[in-house]
Structure 1
Amino acid sequence: MNRSDPRLEELCRLSAALRATALARLAAANAELNRTEAELEGLAAARQGQAIGDIAMLAASGSARALWLAARRRALSSELELAQARRAACAQEARRAVGRAQAIERLVQKGR
């Protein structure tokens, strides 16, 4: 029976932990992206709902509300772009971590 190097076993455990961390970061980035997309869609729905509302209230607060909606939409669009960039970076990090962990696991299996 061939025993593998304990350093390689430790490296395997460390790479598995790094893989789990990278995948957790990717999940968080996906959640942030989904939240931002949903908020942007909700903003569009609020804008459509505004047209159906009370005409007198719309006349009194319409322009202020429209300005707020436009500013919020711009802010959310910026957040969306940042969230997409973070998700792409996390996805690349996760791909590397998964590949590294798989390669090390294969080395450990060969050593056994």
Structure 2
Amino acid sequence: MRLVACVSAGLLLCATPLRAAEAPFEPSLLRLAEILGSLHFLQTLCGGESRDWRMEMETLLDAEKPSAERRARFIAGFNSGYRAYAANYTTCTPSARAAIALYAKEGEKLTREVTGRFGN
């Protein structure tokens, strides 16, 4: 999956000191945090490629250097994505595997869009 490389490189390019209210890419980054949380749960549940999605979340936080309030929103998004699947899945199923593929694609797309539009 290229998502890991895209997230790491892309977030470093678009990191800005803008406040959340000024950042037009904020909803995309919050969605990305949620996706990373979902992938963290699902990948652990299903095994497969070893990706550290929690580390990718740390990369996002390091790149953004958010205020405490904004950091809490990112973490809440990650946890929300994680809990959404943890509440419903106890074993890996075909739909869980399909969700991994869909979230990986969506995460790559979001990362490309944010870095392409707002990266320097």
What is the TM-score normalised by the length of structure 2?
0.39
Quick check: which has more Rg, 1 or 2?
Answer: 1
What is the TM-score normalised by the length of structure 1?
0.41
Structure with bigger RCO (C-alpha 8 Å, 6+ apart): 1
